[in-house]
Amino acid sequence: MTWIAFLIGGALSGAVIAYAMDFRTRKGLLQGALGGIIAAILYMIT
Amino acid sequence: MAHEIVGILSLLVFVFTVLGPLIMVGGRRLIPLPLQSLLVVGALVNIVMTVVAIWLDGGSLSEMLSLGSAVGSNVILLPIMAMAGGFLVAGALEGSGGFAALRVVINKMRGTPLGMAGTLVFIAQFSTIFAMPCGRIAAAALLPVIITLGPEGVRLINKKQMVVLVTALAVNAAASCGPSQIGGIGQIGEGFLQQLGFLTSSQEFGIMIGTAFTALFISLFVTRFDLDEKIRLTEGRQLAVSSVGAAASTDTALAEKHDEEVIARKFKAPLVGYISLIIFLVALVGAVFGLFGKTPITTTLLVATVVIMLIARLSIRQVISGIILHPITALVAGFLMAGSLAVSGGFKSLSQVLVWLSEFKVAGVGLGVAGMIALFVQLETIMPMPCGRILAAALLPIVVAMGPATGWMPNASGLLTYNQLAIVLAAFIVNAAASCGPSPIGGIGTISEGMVRSDIGYLRNAQSYGIMAAMTPLAALVMRFLVLTHNPFRLENLLIFFGLLFGLFVFNLGMIKLVNPATFKKRRTPTQEKEKSLATWVAFLLGGVFSGMVITFTLFWPDQASGFASSGPLLVYLLQGAVGGAIAGALLLLT
């Protein structure tokens, strides 16, 4: 449950940060979400 | 009687020492002393007053003489040792080129499917991924990356992107000392709850989302006018010039190639740097997951430090240079003040004030326990110190005193059950840890403000908003629905969690977008400055209301199977939480 929450939360937060930094194309938002997911996985592992 | 008066007086001394340095008179700080010094002086004043109270109440000389050891015993060595261990390994990493290797790895990420956007997101979240005992360590390691990529470096990110990134990085780095397993603030709370690692995931989740909300807030509130007039960082040339012809495109391609060469030259690391980084990661992961048996984390870190020292042939001086004294002295000063409040009766008085606050009513309407807690958990960001440990060390015993009475806290008021106490601790600690981000008196945010050359405090509101509206309530939400009630699995809990999480996103995105001052007009006039101020107030008040309601919901949503008995009408609690949250939002802007 915690893993699912972190993955979804990571994707959402990554997309929001990318949007905030004016990466507002689909590609930019997806890259941001991917960065957020990787961050979330590392949050959980470390 | 004298003891009771001294208890109240010592509480006033505490409030004065904490608020005094924040008060500005005629552009100068009312008390221009370092906060730690002021706290130690305040602690001495409290001890002297307690001696007088003992004398007036007819106490013995031995009772007076035992005060020193009673105060000293409050200085807990474990978090100080863990923090020192973290700093030593950080010093070894810096000396061996470990941080340089980290910068190379991050730079290489731009060439992966992550692209620039994903890499910048990763940088913004990095500090809490490898959480150090002080966020300044990670911030100091990452800032050169941002400077190099920014408009005054190779201009891969523009001025606005840099403002957003350094603000998000500041709040993330500041908060990272909360969940850190190597001497973080959270470990103090986990010590009280007697469960190591119990508060980690809730804080991390709150920080992850709070970083995003901070980025969003600053992105929408930093207008073109502010970028031109208030951010004195130079703009740099634009990259996108393809519309002016093939020759220009060729120039751009050459310039980009040159930029990449400059970056490659700047980001270099020796082999031993990569090896030391791997040693550190193995030590960190091993310590967190208990791969080395029951070896204390501090010991694991010290062994890693020695191994790195031997491999990189570092001197002791190089390793010791990693120690940052500020957080250590902050912790000691906070513990001393806490000890002085304990012996003077200050904690007892504060507990009474909190109980009074929860019972105080005007025309039959009052904050109640729910409103008081919604306000109290935001207290550290309302009074932001340069290190969250200063107040956390002094205030955490008060939070614990709201919980059930135990052998080591026999006078606890019992306002909260054990589970509710864990939720409040998670929210309070993440708020405390993050509070050194927006602190105008030497917080991590001031480093970011220096980088973009804005006025001191310009980036503060965005950080405060992220902490108040996302980090704090989400830590409570995760603690309640994912940590405390995860076993046995119940779909109801998962649905409530995601319902509130998406609700928080929709509410904040919608609200910030709605009050976005940039939508008023393109140019800013004095009238529009007022409009921006009004928009900020609306955002903070509504954000505070929603945050207060979420925190209250996590505390009082009845669920007998998970140990949360129904203790009254939920709607009343939610309203009380909303009022407490709104007051917190207003105070965040006023202080």
Q: Are B378 and B470 within 8 A, CB to CB? A: no
Q: Are the beta carbons of A43 and B204 separated by less than 8 Å?
A: yes
Which residues in chain A touch residue B478, judged by CB atoms under 8 angstroms apart? 2, 5
Measure the CA–CA gap between B539 and B258, rounded to whole angstroms.
44
B30 compared with B256, residue with greater pLDDT: B30
Question: Which has the higher per-residue pLDDT, B545 or B33?
Answer: B545
Give the range among A11-15, B139-143, B308-312 with minimum mean pLDDT: B139-143
Closest-CA distance, B495 to chain A, in angstroms, reads 11
pLDDT at B107: 79
If DSSP codes are grouped into helix, strand and coil, which group holds residue B25?
A: strand
- To the nearest whole angstrom, how far is the Cα of A41 from the nearest Cα of chain B? 9
CA distance B582 to chain A (A): 25
Q: Inspect the interface and report whether the beta carbons of A12 and B116 lie closer than 8 Å.
A: no
Is B404 exposed, middle or buried, given 0-12, 13-18 or 19+ CB atoms closer than 10 A? middle
On chain A, the residues whose CB falls within 8 A of the CB of B201 are 2, 6, 44
Q: How far is CA B159 from CA B117, B323, B513, in A?
A: 15, 33, 21
Query: Is A17 in contact with B168 (Cβ distance < 8 A)?
Result: yes
Given a contact cutoff of 8 angstroms between Cβ atoms, the answer to whether A39 and B122 are in contact is yes
Q: Whole-angstrom Cα distance, residue B182 to residue B179?
A: 9
Domain ranges for chain B = 77-227+261-326, 346-590
What is residue A5's DSSP assignment? H
The larger pLDDT score, comparing residue B490 to residue B340, is at B340
Distance from CA of A10 to the nearest CA of B (A): 7
Confidence of residue B524 (pLDDT cuts 50, 70, 90): low
Cα atoms in the Cβ-side hemisphere of radius 13 Å centred on B576: 27
CB contact under 8 A, A32 and B284: no
C-alpha–C-alpha distance, residues B35 and B25, integer Å:
17
Q: Tell me, what DSSP letter sits at residue B564?
A: B
Cα atoms in the Cβ-side hemisphere of radius 13 Å centred on B62: 0
* Closest chain A residue by Cα to residue B482: A2
Question: B-chain residues within 8 Å CB-CB of A28?
Answer: 115, 117
Mean pLDDT of B209-221: 91
Indicate the average pLDDT of chain B.
81
Q: CA of B64 to nearest chain A CA: how many angstroms apart?
A: 47
Interchain proximity B216–A20, CB inside 8 Å: yes
Contact A1 B117 (CB under 8 A): no
Whether residue B242 has pLDDT greater than 50: no
* Amino acid (one-letter) located at B501: L
- Give the pLDDT confidence score for residue B76 in this predicted structure: 62
- Closest Cβ–Cβ partner in A9, A39, A43 for B121: A39
Distance from CA of B30 to the nearest CA of A (A): 37
Q: Cα angle vertex B141, ends B178, A2, to 5°?
A: 40
Q: Which two tokens stand for residue B155?
A: 């201009």
Phi, psi of B366 (to 5 degrees): -145, 175
Residue B459 has pLDDT above 70, yes or no: yes
Structure tokens at B362: 């005007």
Mean pLDDT value of segment A24-46: 91
- Return d(Cα A1, Cα B77) in angstroms, integer: 36
The verdict on a CB contact (< 8 Å) between B215 and A28 is no
Tell me, what's the pLDDT at B577?
93
> Reduced to 3 states, what is the DSSP secondary structure of residue B548?
helix
Give pLDDT, residue B190: 85
Q: Among A16, A19, A24, A44, pick the best mutation site for testing chain B contact (most B Cβ within 10 A).
A: A16
Judged by CB atoms closer than 8 Å, whether chains meet at A18 and B120 is answered as yes
- Whether the per-residue pLDDT at B3 is higher than 90: the answer is no
Contact A6 B205 (CB under 8 A): yes
| Burial status of residue B243 (CB atoms within 10 A of its CB: 0-12, 13-18, 19 or more) | exposed
Tokens 């919604």 locate to: B374
Q: Are strands B365-366 and B24-25 parallel, antiparallel or unpaired?
A: unpaired
Cα distance from N-terminal residue to C-terminal residue, chain A: 17
Of B115, B201, B288, the CB nearest to A2: B201
Q: Which two tokens stand for residue B293?
A: 């048996």
Q: What is the rounded distance in angstroms from the CA atom of residue B107 to the CA atom of residue B582?
A: 42
Does the CA dihedral B327-B333-B337-B340 come out positive or negative?
Answer: positive
pLDDT score of B127: 87
Contacts of B489 in chain A (CB under 8 A): 1
- Asked if the model's pLDDT at residue B244 lies above 50, the reply is no
Beta bridge partners of B28: B25
SS3 A46: coil
Geometric angle at alpha carbon A20, from B256 and A23, rounded to 5°? 40
Confidence band, pLDDT 50/70/90 cuts, at residue B486 = low
Does the pLDDT of residue A35 top 90, yes or no?
yes
Alpha carbon B278 to its chain centroid, in Å, reads: 27
In the predicted model, is pLDDT for residue B192 greater than 90? no
Is the per-residue pLDDT at B384 higher than 50? yes
Asked if A19 lies within 8 A of B219 by C-beta distance, the reply is yes
Is pLDDT above 50 for B409?
yes
Q: Which residues of A touch B157 (CB under 8 A)?
A: 21
Query: Tokens 């939610």 label which residue?
Result: B574
* pLDDT tens, residue by residue, B74-115: 666 665 676 677 778 878 888 888 888 887 887 788 888 888
In the prediction, which pLDDT does B411 show? 65
Q: In 3D, which of A7, A23, A27 has the Cα closest to residue B121? A: A23
Question: The tokens of B274 are what?
Answer: 């990569």
Tokens of B377: 């958990």
Inter-CA distances, B342 with B70, B315, B355, Å:
9, 42, 18
Measured between alpha carbons, how far is residue B499 from residues B115, B227, B491, B493 in Å? 31, 37, 12, 10
More confident position, B205 or B355: B205
Residues of chain A with C-beta less than 8 angstroms from the C-beta of B505: 12, 16
Measured in angstroms, the CA of A15 and the nearest CA of chain B are apart by 8
The alpha-helical segments, DSSP class H, found in B469-525 are: 472-478, 491-514
- Dihedral angle over CA of B38, B136, B547, B586, nearest 10: 40
Task: Indicate the residue of A2, A23, A39 with minimum beta-carbon distance to B482.
Answer: A2
Residue B176 has pLDDT above 80, yes or no: yes
Phi, psi torsion values for B564, nearest 5 degrees: -115, 90
Average of pLDDT values for B388-416? 77
pTM value is 0.80
The region that residue B296 occupies, defined by phi over 0 for left and psi between -120 and 50 for alpha, beta otherwise, is beta
At B280, the pLDDT band (50, 70, 90 cuts) reads: confident
Among the partner residues A10, A23, A29, nearest to B208 by beta-carbon distance: A10
Distance, in Å, from the CA atom of B346 to the CA atom of B15, rounded to the nearest integer, reads 11
Q: Which residues of B touch A37 (CB under 8 A)?
A: none
Maximal CA-CA distance, chain B? 93
pLDDT at B203: 94
Yes or no, beta carbons of B121 and A32 under 8 Å apart? yes
Partners of B25 in the β-ladder: B28
